[in-house]
Structure 1
Amino acid sequence: MADERYDISITKEYLIRNKAKLLYISSATYSGDWLSTPHTHYCSELFYVLEGIGQFQVEDNIFPVKANDLIIINPNISHTELGLRSHPMKYIVLGIEGLELSSENDHSNFCIVNFKEIKDTMVFYLQMMLKEIETRAPGHEAICQDLMEILIVLFGRQTNFSTILTPANKKASHLCDSVRRYLDQNCEEDITLEQLAKFSHVNKYYLVHAFTDEYGISPINYLMQARVKKAEKLLATTDYSMSVISSSCGFASSGYFSQTFKKITGLSPSAYRKKSKSEHEANN
């Protein structure tokens, strides 16, 4: 009787379990018939193009994509897909927490790799993941997670990129930094905690916990501070009325603006404006 035994020694680079987590799976067909706008996620996203052709916008650059292309986007990188009506693009998307791209020779936050040579294998695993998530049979979560890990290893074989397992605190930092920048850039808008949770693709309770742990202040209180900071600049550099400044900074009323401003700065808006002008005159 012939008997062959093959021992396996798994290296640290393949110890993915309990570090990278599959968050979601989705499939879509895009032909340019709806408006796709750039957006970010706190997790990494993997797009596999099953058929068709199109384009992919990553930050300010646009790249052509075709069947069997795998596009991987690191967390907090602005991106969107751009389909063509003549050749609708069908693709599958995976959202993965705790995984980032890294390369010694390329510091890009994304990559596009064609898997034509092993397309049957790639499509088999992806379609199996979709089937598992759609049927939701017992243990489907574990099977999807295992299939994701196989895909990550296959990706590593095809490129000069390596995958970096992100520590939990770094994952939270990515999330919090993305939310903080969003609040700074849109503080005048009517932003709710539910909207922030939808923007960051996490549970709102987790968002509050992570953000508060990172910055020592809740997202909504940070939003108030961002509005007051914008109001300080307008009070010091313009002659706009209190009502104009109040509305342009996102406050529901002049009274609420004055109350919040004084609570955070210790001065009323009018007192702050007077103090700022006095300091400016003294320095000139």
Structure 2
Amino acid sequence: MGNVRYWLPGKGRGEIPAKLIYVSSSIYEGDWFSIRHTHSFAELFYVRSGQGNFIVEDDIYPVKQDDLVIVNPNVEHTEVSVSSDPLEYVVLGVEGMSFDFGNRSGSLNHKIINYWNQRDELLFYFNAMLRETENKEENYEAICQNLLEVVIISLMRSSSHPFSVVATQRANKVCSRIKRYIDSNYAEDISLDSLADKAHISKYYLSHTFARFYGMSPINYLNEVRLRASKELLETTDLSISQIAESTGFSSQSYFSQSFRRTCGLTPSAYRSQSKRV
């Protein structure tokens, strides 16, 4: 008798910061019209069959059987079916996390991936969650939660479509920490890459998430803080323009003057003269 035993190292795993809040199944037919909408949570759509278009904000993407559509929280979206081959899909609503796709050529707020080569595996998990929520037998919520984590880990292990997940609460904290860092260190040599290293997330996800919370990218915010500091120095000191440029973090006097004029409509020297006349 042959016997093979594999021991697990017992290291445990990092917790997936996700909570499954619903599972639904839909078939898009002529009696239903979907309008653009947003949610405060992420959604995963797995297309069982059919074809159509998925609309995310102002972009339209064709979708077909075995496409997985991942949409981050607070992103406007909807779907449109082809009447001759209606879309049929399962949707998971997942709160507490966002997806970091970390891809400069792709979107920051959604991803569409075809998983035809993993169809049997993914459909098993999606259909099992759907069946559990329909039957509501004892401990079905725990089973669904565990299946969700299996799905997310399976997707994250796919080397051809790598991504990571970030807790929504952590994203808020990370952006707040980066903002505070900029406020205190704006005179230093700061780049988007260095900020992303401090945040331990990709620079593309950081830029998108920071802009969602504060209305501008981290680098635009950095420039705003530097210009605000330079205005104060122009108004209250006799430092030269080059000294002010250096002390507020601008790489050169010419870049400082360029940025200042573009934002304020005046050169630094003209601004100083105007402020002293007031």
Shorter-chain TM-score range: 0.5 to 0.7
User: How far apart, CA to CA, are the structure 1 residues paired with 2:21 and 2:45?
Assistant: 14
**Which of 16, 25, 30 matches 1:27?**
25
Q: Is the 8 A contact 2:99 2:165 kept in 1?
A: yes
Which position in structure 2 is the counterpart of 1:87?
A: 85
Aligned length: 172
Identical counterparts, % of pairs: 40
- Alignment CA distance shift 1:34-1:5 (3 Å): closer
User: How far apart, CA to CA, are the structure 1 residues paired with 2:37 and 2:108?
Assistant: 18
Q: Does 1:61 align with 2:59?
A: yes
Give the residue type in structure 2 aligned to 1:85: S
Q: Is the 8 A contact 2:23 2:130 kept in 1?
A: yes
User: How far apart, CA to CA, are the structure 1 residues paired with 2:48 and 2:100?
Assistant: 25
Q: Does 1:133 align with 2:133?
A: yes
Which position in structure 1 is the counterpart of 2:166?
A: 165
Q: CA deviation at 1:89?
A: 0.5
- Alignment CA distance shift 1:2-1:124 (3 Å): closer
Q: CA deviation at 1:53?
A: 0.5
Query: Secondary structure of the residue that 1:165 maps to in structure 2?
Result: strand
TM-score by length of 2: 0.56
Q: Is the 8 A contact 1:97 1:171 kept in 2?
A: no
- Alignment CA distance shift 1:134-1:70 (3 Å): same
Which position in structure 2 is the counterpart of 1:248?
A: none
Q: Is the 8 A contact 1:83 1:89 kept in 2?
A: yes
Query: Secondary structure of the residue that 1:118 maps to in structure 2?
Result: helix
Give the residue type in structure 2 aligned to 1:129: M
Q: Is the 8 A contact 1:54 1:65 kept in 2?
A: yes
Q: Is the 8 A contact 1:22 1:148 kept in 2?
A: yes
Describe how 1:6-17 pairs up with structure 2 within 5 A: 6-8=7-9, 10=11, 14-16=14-16
Query: Secondary structure of the residue that 1:38 maps to in structure 2?
Result: coil
Which position in structure 2 is the counterpart of 1:274?
A: none
Give the residue type in structure 2 aligned to 1:31: E
Q: CA deviation at 1:84?
A: 1.3
Q: CA deviation at 1:8?
A: 3.3
- Alignment CA distance shift 1:35-1:9 (3 Å): same
Which position in structure 1 is the counterpart of 2:103?
A: 105
User: How far apart, CA to CA, are the structure 2 residues paired with 1:5 and 1:169?
Assistant: 36
Q: CA deviation at 1:54?
A: 0.7
Gaps of 5+ in 1: 173-284
- Judge which range, 1-10 or 54-63, deviates more: 1-10
Q: CA deviation at 1:146?
A: 0.5
Which position in structure 1 is the counterpart of 2:272?
A: none
Which position in structure 1 is the counterpart of 2:123?
A: 123
Query: Secondary structure of the residue that 1:49 maps to in structure 2?
Result: strand
Which position in structure 1 is the counterpart of 2:220?
A: none
User: How far apart, CA to CA, are the structure 2 residues paired with 1:97 and 1:128?
Assistant: 20
Q: Does 1:76 align with 2:74?
A: yes
**Which of 31, 36, 46 matches 1:48?**
46
Q: Is the 8 A contact 1:20 1:165 kept in 2?
A: no
Gaps of 5+ in 2: 174-278
Q: Is the 8 A contact 1:33 1:85 kept in 2?
A: no
Moved over 6 A (4+): none
Q: Is the 8 A contact 2:100 2:166 kept in 1?
A: no
Which position in structure 2 is the counterpart of 1:255?
A: none
TM-score by length of 1: 0.55
Q: CA deviation at 1:99?
A: 1.9
User: How far apart, CA to CA, are the structure 1 residues paired with 2:80 and 2:34?
Assistant: 7
User: How far apart, CA to CA, are the structure 2 residues paired with 1:138 and 1:63?
Assistant: 40
Q: CA deviation at 1:3?
A: 4.9
